[in-house]
A and B are shown apart, each in its own frame.
Chain A
Amino acid sequence: MATGQVAQTGTRIAVDVQQVRKIYQRDAQQITVLDGIDLRVPEGEFLALMGPSGSGKTTLLNLIAGIDRPTAGRVVIDGTDISTLGEGALARWRSRNVGFIFQFYNLIPVLTAIGNVELPLLLTKLSAKQRRDRAMTALRVVGLEDRAHHYPRQLSGGQEQRVAIARAIVTDPKIIVADEPTGDLDHKSAEEILELVVTLNREFHKTIVMVTHDPRAARHAHTERHLEKGVLESNGAQAGAK
């Protein structure tokens, strides 16, 4: 289903990016990475952001995830204008509302799989046992409960990315942002990871914003939006929507 149709049905907007500009200052030169972006992502949507390298898609993703701030405009996520939050409040907001999946997994090498998944829960008031239980549940969702006590170096790339997905969902966030989640994987592993992301969207009703420049990956999303030189193409295209 397309974005517009969802909006017409009155579904809540999960991500509302309004007239966002992002300018980087490099020495005396100003580089406009995003220029007047408007983007609305309904709750439960699976959006693929596409575009060539340097088009600003990762920057836009970082703004949606609250790990960067716009130069101008507003980023409203699930009703909260995160562009006005202070450093500490934004960190707290991220810990409760966003799950992040990186291209290179970014697991902590000194922690086991379950230790990595448990990390975001250290910021909650859960007891050690509750944390362990929840982390194990998340690992079960990604099919890696038998690898809970393995270190990242003992896992394959696909398994590492599954652990990273478990870490992203363990706090039960409403939104999951994924930056090239299959960019470092072989075709088979990439398909498995994308299936998992689709499952999170379909069965766990997570709103997903995924950056990719792989059209096969983008086909798993409901909607594709293309960025070109910091400008979003006007209409979203309906993707494969499995």
Chain B
Amino acid sequence: MKFIPLILRHLRRNWMRTASTVIAMTVCIFLFCTLQTFLKAVNWNLQSASSSRLVVRHRVSMVFNVPVSYKARIQSIPGVETVVASNWFGGIFRDMRNFFPNMAVEPEPYLAMYPEFILPDDQKKAWFADRRGCIIGRRTAERFHFKVGDTIAMDSFIPPYRIGHPWEFRIDGIYDTDPVRYPGTDLTMMYFNWDYLYETLHAIRPNSSYTAVGNYMVKISDPNKAGQVSKAIDDLFENSDVQTRTETESAFRAGFLAMIGNLALLLNSIAIAVMFTILLVVANTMSMAVRERRKEIAVLKTLGFSSALVMSLILGEAMAIGLMGGGFGILLGHWMIQALPNLPFLGDAVRGFPELGLTLPTAAIGMGTALALSLAAGIIPAWLAYRARITEMLRQI
């Protein structure tokens, strides 16, 4: 403890250099924390995927639809319990900044397939009976102060779903979840009646390939047979005009994210590149600090400071830089992650991740990384100071 003022004094010696290094470390840890939080939010979303649910989609791309007629044929395959049609709607409530994910689904079988959505019975019944009805997750309802019974109007950004006027939906229910039993359940979604979408489009463009099903959600009786059932479904449509690709729900979600590339690899590569750069920056700072202080190191050793103590003081300086940079980086990351959903452009990209927030473990890993980086950067200059002989250092002056 009594050496801390000495360490801080040395850091203040060239405050511009110290400040630059601390800022570099701050940016590094800020990026690390933000990217890791983003990845965590993505992974959190995958947690809620069930191994007993499959997703059937167009083999070429999920932007193409599959025929309505496939439902009965999928239902006939052994091992399949329920088949539910669903379409990604891409509806926007007033403004892009208000985006929340929304899908058309078949209400009753869908809720049966997703026990994680908890809804009072009267709201369930109201939705099942309401062609224009919808249910909304608690988070979105709170965000926009939606109440049961409200009517909302939305336009879709998907061209085939633009019909010249807004789609109107009545809120029949607000769903919750049990976060302990069903971690990762998204409470920002809106689900509306698939019949409403299909019938409206069919009335306008009956022969359009978009007047069809986006994908089928399939509940299977035995999760261990997911591969077998998936193959059976795809084999069934092998010789059809529209071939399918069937995969587990988690694989489907991961694939959805993979559309923008291997996100984890990309983000981790960025983080590693930044860290390596910072390692060099801090190492350079420490090397310069030690090189210009050779005389003082010799004096300290002459006064009786052991080589190990001198080494510790230099490592202490490096770690103080890491501690400051890590602390500021975590604070900046925390602030930025809070602010991110409200930023233009970037906000739209992250708003779909409801659990976006800097967690204590991520912050701890960030701080650990900062300290490890600074320790690694300081170890060689510290070792050189440890080994340097007093007489040689004094002679070089």
Contact = CB atoms under 8 A, between A and B. Distances in A.
B301 A67 contact: yes
A187 B380 CA distance: 44
Interface in B303-356: 303-308
A88 interface: yes
B390 A68 contact: yes
Interface string B28-39: 000000000000
A100 B296 CA distance: 14
Grouping DSSP codes into helix (H, G, I), strand (E, B) and loop, the B interface class, with mixed when no group exceeds half, is helix
Given A87-B306, A91-B305, A92-B304, A67 B390 contact: yes
B302 to A, nearest CB: 5
A1 interface: no
B205 to A, nearest CB: 78
B23 interface: no
Given A67-B390, A68-B390, A104-B397, A119 B308 contact: no
B302 A96 contact: no
A100 B391 CA distance: 13
A119 B300 contact: yes
Given A62-B391, A91-B301, A106 B307 contact: no
B302 A65 contact: yes
Nearest to A91: B306
A120 B303 contact: yes
B304 A94 contact: yes
Interface stretch (A8-16, A108-116, A188-196, A209-217): A108-116
A94 B302 contact: yes
Nearest to B389: A68
A67 B303 contact: no
B6 interface: yes
B397 A108 contact: no
B12 A67 contact: no
A68 B390 CA distance: 8
Interface residues of B, number: 25
A123 interface: yes
B276 interface: no
A94 B390 CA distance: 13
Nearest to B303: A120
B295 interface: yes
B391 A110 contact: no
Nearest to B10: A110
A95 interface: yes
B303 A110 contact: no
Contact of B9 (A67, A91, A111, A120): A111
A128 B2 contact: yes
A104 B298 CA distance: 13
Contacts of B6: 111, 122
B3 interface: yes
A117 B287 CA distance: 27
A96 B304 contact: yes
Contact of B304 (A91, A108, A109, A111): A91
Contacts of B389: 68
B296 A108 contact: yes
A108 B299 contact: yes
A91 B300 CA distance: 10
A108 B299 CA distance: 9
A125 to B, nearest CB: 10
B165 interface: no
A68 B3 CA distance: 26
Contacts of B12: 110
A110 B293 CA distance: 11
A68 B392 CA distance: 10
B143 interface: no
A88 B311 CA distance: 13
A173 B220 CA distance: 86
Most buried by B among A100, A102, A106: A106
Most buried by A among B9, B298, B306, B389: B306
Nearest to B310: A91
A137 B43 CA distance: 65
Interface string A134-159: 00000000000000000000000000
B395 to A, nearest CB: 9
A220 B6 CA distance: 37
B352 to A, nearest CB: 52
Contacts of A67: 301-302, 390-391
A58 to B, nearest CB: 9
B13 A109 contact: yes
B15 to A, nearest CB: 11
Contacts of A111: 6, 9
A119 to B, nearest CB: 6
Interface in A59-114: 62, 65, 67-68, 87-88, 91-96, 100, 102, 104, 106, 108-111
Contacts of A128: 2
Nearest to A111: B9
B304 A95 contact: yes
Interface string B160-198: 000000000000000000000000000000000000000
A93 to B, nearest CB: 8
B391 A122 contact: no
Interface of B: 2-3, 6, 9-10, 12-13, 295-296, 298-308, 389-391, 394, 397
Given A96-B304, A110-B12, 13 more contacts: A62-B391, A67-B302, A68-B391, A87-B307, A88-B306, A92-B304, A92-B306, A93-B304, A94-B304, A102-B299, A110-B9, A110-B13, A122-B3
10 contacts: A67-B391, A87-B306, A91-B301, A92-B306, A95-B305, A102-B394, A108-B299, A109-B13, A122-B3, A123-B304
A-B interface, 9 closest residue pairs, ranked by CB to CB distance from nearest: A95-B304, A91-B306, A110-B9, A94-B304, A67-B390, A106-B299, A120-B303, A110-B13, A68-B391
